Amino acid sequence: MVTSTSSADKTPTPEASRQVEGHFRNHAPVQREGLRKMLRIMWNMIFHKPRNTRPSAAVPVQTLTRAALLAAPNHSVYRLGHSTVLLKLRDKFWITDPVFAERASPVQWAGPKRFHQPPISLEELPPIEAVILSHDHYDHLDHHAVLKLADKTNYFLTPLGVGDTLIKWGIDAAKVRQLDWWQGTEVDGIKFIATPSQHFSGRGLFDGNSTLWASWVMIDSDTRIFFSGDTGYFDGFKRIGEQYGPFDLTLMETGAYNVEWPHVHMQPEQTLQAHIDLKGRWLLPIHNGTFDLSMHAWYEPFDRILALAWERSVSITTPQMGEAFNLKYPQRGQPWWLDLENVENQVTA
């Protein structure tokens, strides 16, 4: 296992990850779901899906090219889908949870299917300085994408154990840096700190919580970015905000929530509070608009978080997939999903 800790992160912290018999645990107790509840959830997801959990028309996507990305200014940020975000910092490219697969599933003939194609293909992507991974679930860790990116990526930054998975897949161990919560590493002058989140892990029936999950702090000189990964709401956001905030941009999970799993995914109200806890300036909602992973309408996360942000006077941006957002010249973007939502509502009226 390869780990890296910067000198700035050697202060003892009480919130390093905890393992019990080889399994990681959240610091806040998370209720374990019984078999009956799990079966009920699965039954409802299969047989009682509302009609509007998938868009009935094409989700707008702004196509990207390698040439356009190379010519783009630094501090450009692009949503590619779900939790995949491409950032340009210091004339290099960094990508979070790159998922390009057609389905967020262990097989490509079944499972949640994409609403839209990525704005750019894996082949067209420019060289990547680092891939930043939050955990090993299929909608965040794409086996095929990792292997396709291997030759054009210098580093893979992962929570503990996830890097071991990459190495088993054939990724050069010298490229892999695995971090515990509150550990940090530096790549090309940018600091990356793996910070706590409240979630779980596993890619099969028998590997639950054998790898760690994390959020990430990115510090590029006077620019600070937070990437939530997947998480429920917990008091760790305040700790991260106090230690590393304020953040110029928070990339915050806003989607795939449900009252049936309140501890591992946030409702939009909690997403907004987490952004405030982090002392965030601009909020970019992610984990939405690409896969059907819950029971809510596909556009509901956008509607709810936008209304809440306006109510609390929080700066929020909602770019289309592939549309540029620049940290130095921020703009709100358009509520692009409303046209699709209005068409769907008229059909059901």
| 138 part of a folded domain | yes
Lowest mean pLDDT among 12-16, 143-147, 194-198: 12-16
pLDDT of residue 8: 42
How many CB atoms within 10 Å of residue 226? 28
What's the CATH code of the domain at 324? 3.60.15.10
| 294 part of a folded domain | yes
Distance CA 11, CA 13 (A): 6
Structural domains of the chain, count: 1
| 108 part of a folded domain | yes
| 307 part of a folded domain | yes
pLDDT of residue 82: 98
| 226 part of a folded domain | no
Say if residue 257's pLDDT is above 60: yes
Distance CA 333, CA 284 (A): 10
Q: Could you tell me if 194 and 179 are in contact, meaning their C-beta atoms sit under 8 angstroms apart?
A: yes
| Residues facing residue 297 across a β-bridge | none
Range of the domain at 92: 56-184+256-264+283-348
Task: Tell me the average pLDDT across 281-298.
Answer: 98
pLDDT-derived band at 39 (thresholds 50, 70, 90) equals confident
Write out pLDDT tens, residues 169-214: 999 999 999 999 999 999 999 999 999 999 999 999 899 999 999 9
Note the Cα 299 to chain centre separation in Å: 18
Distance CA 72, CA 327 (A): 13
Distance CA 328, CA 257 (A): 31
Write out pLDDT tens, residues 69-89: 999 999 999 999 999 999 999
What rounded mean pLDDT belongs to the chain? 93
| pTM score | 0.94
The encoded tokens of residue 165 equal: 């998975």
| 131 part of a folded domain | yes
pLDDT of residue 48: 77
Write out pLDDT tens, residues 300-311: 999 999 999 999
| 260 part of a folded domain | yes
Distance CA 262, CA 31 (A): 10
**Strand 215-220 to strand 190-195: parallel, antiparallel, or no bridges (unpaired)?**
antiparallel
Distance CA 196, CA 274 (A): 13
Higher pLDDT pick, 343 / 265: 265
| 169 part of a folded domain | yes
pLDDT of residue 33: 66
CA-atom Rg of the chain in angstroms: 19
